[in-house]
Amino acid sequence: MAFWNSKKTEDKTPEPETGVFSKMRNALTKTRQALNTDIRDLFKSEGRLVDDEFLGELFARLIGTDMGVSSAEAVRDDIGRRFRARVVHLPDVLDSITQQTSERLSQESTDIQFAESGPTVILVVGVNGSGKTTSIGKLAYHLHSTGHKVVLGAGDTFRAAAVEQLTVWAGRIGCEIVTGKPEADPASVAFQTVEKAVEMGADVAIIDTAGRLQTQTNLMQQLDKIRRVIGKKIEAAPHEVLLVLDATAGQNAISQARGFSDAAGCTGIVLSKLDGSAKGGVILPIREQFQLPVKFVGLGEGIEDIAKFDAASFAKALFE
């Protein structure tokens, strides 16, 4: 199901302030202001000659957004090819950066891969504090509000606060939730959740998981066990394994992605807390290194503050 209205992205008429693009732009305010201010400082009123000195300074500013060396080099080199030995102004450079960012973030699809029949099982992974449980609530709300029958599974049984939080989300949304006793086997809760989804004819089962550090071998083994247990009940499940990454974590988010992606077989990324970060550029090296689609971005604290990722809109909101 799409969060984004494709007709709006094609329409050149500005969206209303309540639109998804406006929310995305607001969420990227810290990153955009930091980056634009840094780049603006490179210019004089009469513009700036594009030479080695300018390109070196620009590269350093781009690195500051955590966009990674490869992406910063690509942007720098593109501006060098297009404008070397010419005097440019800020809009010229921002246009080039926006275009390069959009191209490097482009991906085939951000849609959830729904099962052809029976419940679609979505496993959600990520370290503690990444916004994982909140992201589950937001996703569940969207699916429920668009007519899907949703079941939640509180599989983070080692953290009482996570179970309580997810229970509150379920109550607000009006969907079923499966919980276990404190420190119960998370795989058992996952199995019961899938079983419940089959019994009640649910469309989607979203299962939370423990979020301890990605370096812990036991956690990685636990995720593998959960996958195997779910697959015994529904063949080919889980259909999606979404990795929630905290945008405020910057480059550390990449090590998180590496650990969980290897253990859980991740199929997509949810970038959370975008509104609290000046490091929104980290999405570029994440896409580059793991070739995982960024499926959703968290745009605030409200239950509706999540959106399907769109590369062109993200780049535009980041720089314009």
CA distance 111 to 114: 9
66 is in an annotated binding site: no
Domain range enclosing 96: 19-105
210 carries a ligand binding annotation: yes
**Same domain flag for 182 and 88:** no
What CATH number did the domain enclosing 244 receive? 3.40.50.300
Last residue of a domain, one of 80, 105, 130: 105
66 and 152 belong to one structural domain: no
Instruction: Examine the fold and report which residue of 105, 133, 167 is the final residue of a domain before the chain moves on.
Output: 105
Q: In the block, which residue shows the tokens 């099982």?
A: 121
What is the tally of structural domains in the chain? 2
- Per residue in 136-190, pLDDT (tens digit) is 999 999 899 889 999 999 999 888 899 999 999 999 999 999 998 888 899 999 9
Dist. CA 127–CA 106, nearest whole Å: 26
145 is known to lie in a ligand binding site: no
275 is an annotated ligand-binding site residue? yes
- According to the annotation, is 208 in a ligand binding site? yes
Is 257 one of the annotated binding-site residues? no
The DSSP string of 109-146 is --S----SSS-EEEEEE--TTSSHHHHHHHHHHHHHHT
The answer to whether residue 114 is domain-embedded is no
pLDDT at res. 211: 76
CATH number at residue 94: 1.20.120.140
Question: For residue 141, what pLDDT is reported?
Answer: 93
Query: What pLDDT, on the 0 to 100 scale, is given for residue 6?
Result: 30
Q: Is 4 a domain residue? A: no
Residue 308 confidence (pLDDT): 87
User: Is 276 annotated as belonging to a binding site?
Assistant: no
Q: How far apart are CA 32 and CA 315, in angstroms?
A: 10
Same domain for 186 and 311, yes or no, is yes
Ligand-binding annotation for 25, yes or no, is no
Which of 77, 105, 133 is the last residue before a domain boundary? Answer: 105
71 annotated ligand-binding residue = no
Same-domain check for residues 124 and 273: yes
Q: How far apart are CA 243 and CA 254, in angstroms?
A: 11
Q: Beta partners for 181?
A: none
Side chain identity at 261, as an amino acid letter? S
Is 265 a known ligand-binding residue? Answer: no
Does 201 count as an annotated binding residue?
no
* Residue 212 among known ligand-binding residues: yes
- The verdict on whether residue 50 carries a ligand-binding annotation is no
Instruction: Average pLDDT across each block of 10 residues of the chain; the chain has 320 residues. List them in order.
Output: 32 45 81 80 87 94 84 92 93 88 83 91 90 94 92 92 93 94 91 96 95 69 89 93 87 77 83 78 83 87 87 82
